[in-house]
């Protein structure tokens, strides 16, 4: 099986317009009334109205029709039904509230590379007699793409089997026997993370930024309007190695601004990496400003989400 991309996410929330205004304010572009994209990728977040906050569709890209056939067969072995058409496979996540769509599509071209920044370091000073673009920017740097999503599952092992054995995601890392499982469908260290939760939920979605300054500028814009929006950050993770800042969007969903994630282009080289197991499984970050809020592990409104799911017949 040959997945190659997380194409986009559909988010269902009570007020989609609030997210349209929020993300366009941070630099995403509006492809149509319900679709937000970036300069490189016109569809990254699709927004729908729903009674409670959740991912309603996860859309993935694969190489050709034979991949869809293999995915259908892998899902069938798990007892999951899928509909297969010409170039498209659709199924429901059996343990969550969203559909998964896999489409035959060309791998998207690489993101446009930001201009190199001259960085002064001890003993090396390539930037002299002028200010850094990190300190003075004519306009804030916009988001580049949606990179991953994290789901809470009441059956993490079952969810991992669905994504790994059924859909063909690859395993990158696990935390303490299943507290967290990092999976990928591209060269990113993770496009999906599965964590335990009492009911299915979205823990967060993640948007890639150019660098730490882009993260800081966007995050500060958010907290300048909503001081309580910050959940955790700025910091650098151990697994994935990405810089991060976790915040809440206006609909109460957690999102991550991230940059500089590990890239895995050779499975054997990754497995043999001498640093791969040199970490404490309970160390979330190599550096950070202090403990995260409880929202980092489980949405603060999980009880309300559970009631809303029940009312919606989930």
CATH number at residue 203: 3.10.180.10
pLDDT at 246: 98
Q: Is the pLDDT of residue 281 over 80?
A: no
- The predicted structure's pLDDT at residue 136: 81
**234: preceding bond cis by omega (within 30 degrees):** yes
* pLDDT over threshold 60, residue 97: yes
Residue 309 belongs to a domain: no
Report how many domains make up the chain.
Answer: 1
Range of the domain at 165: 3-109+143-302
In this prediction, residue 280 carries a pLDDT of: 80
Asked if the structure places residue 156 within a domain, the reply is: yes
The 3-class secondary structure across 40-102, one letter per residue, is CCCCCEEEEECCCCEEEEEEEEECCHHHHHHHHHHHHHCCCCEEECCCEEEEECCCCCCEEEE
Average pLDDT, integer, range 138-159: 93
Asked if the structure places residue 307 within a domain, the reply is no
pLDDT at 171: 95
Half-sphere exposure of 141 (CA within 13 A, CB side): 26
Cβ of 121: how many Cβ atoms within 10 Å? 7
In this structure, are residues 215 and 144 in contact, taking their beta carbons and an 8 Å threshold? no
Tokens 């190489």 sit on residue: 63
Q: Is 312 part of any domain?
A: no
Is a pLDDT exceeding 60 seen at residue 230?
yes
pTM of the model: 0.96
Residue 127 lies in a domain: no
Is residue 274 scored above 90 in pLDDT?
A: no
Q: Is residue 124 part of a domain?
A: no
pLDDT tens for each residue of 27-55: 999 999 999 999 999 999 999 999 999 99
Q: Is 214 helix (H, G, I), strand (E, B) or coil?
A: helix
Predicted confidence at residue 1, as pLDDT, reads 55
Q: Does residue 285 sit in helix, strand or coil?
A: strand
The predicted pLDDT at position 63 comes to 96
CA 198/CA 219 separation, integer angstroms:
29
Answer whether residue 132 is part of any domain: no
pLDDT at residue 138, as a whole number = 64
232 inside domain: yes
């Amino acid at each position: 099986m040959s997945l190659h991309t997380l194409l986009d996410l559909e988010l269902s929330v009570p007020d989609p317009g609030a997210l349209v205004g929020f993300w366009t304010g941070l630099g995403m572009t509006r492809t149509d009334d319900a679709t937000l994209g970036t300069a490189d990728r016109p569809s990254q977040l699709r927004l729908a109205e729903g009674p409670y906050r959740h991912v309603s569709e996860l859309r993935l890209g694969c190489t050709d029709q034979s991949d869809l056939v293999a995915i259908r067969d892998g899902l069938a072995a798990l007892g999951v039904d899928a509909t297969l058409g010409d170039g498209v496979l659709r199924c429901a996540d059996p343990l969550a509230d969203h559909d998964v769509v896999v489409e035959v599509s060309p791998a998207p071209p690489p993101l446009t590379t930001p201009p190199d920044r001259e960085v002064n370091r001890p003993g090396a000073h390539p930037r002299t007699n002028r200010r850094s673009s990190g300190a003075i920017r004519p306009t804030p740097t916009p988001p580049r793409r949606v990179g991953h999503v994290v789901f809470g599952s009441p059956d993490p092992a079952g969810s991992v089997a669905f994504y790994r054995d059924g859909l063909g995601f690859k395993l990158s890392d696990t935390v303490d026997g299943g507290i967290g499982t990092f999976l990928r469908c591209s060269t990113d260290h993770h496009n999906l993370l599965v964590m335990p939760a009492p009911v299915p939920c979205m823990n967060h979605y993640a948007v890639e930024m150019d660098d730490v300054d882009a993260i800081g500028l966007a995050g500060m814009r958010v907290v300048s309007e909503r001081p309580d929006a910050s959940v955790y950050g700025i910091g650098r993770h151990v697994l994935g190695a990405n810089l991060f800042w976790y915040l809440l969007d206006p609909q109460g969903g957690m999102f991550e601004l991230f940059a500089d994630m590990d890239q895995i282009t050779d499975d054997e080289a990754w497995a043999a990496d001498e640093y791969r197991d040199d970490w404490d499984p309970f160390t979330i970050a190599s550096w950070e400003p202090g403990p995260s809020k409880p929202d980092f592990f489980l949405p603060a409104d999980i009880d309300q989400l559970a009631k809303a799911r029940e009312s919606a017949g989930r």
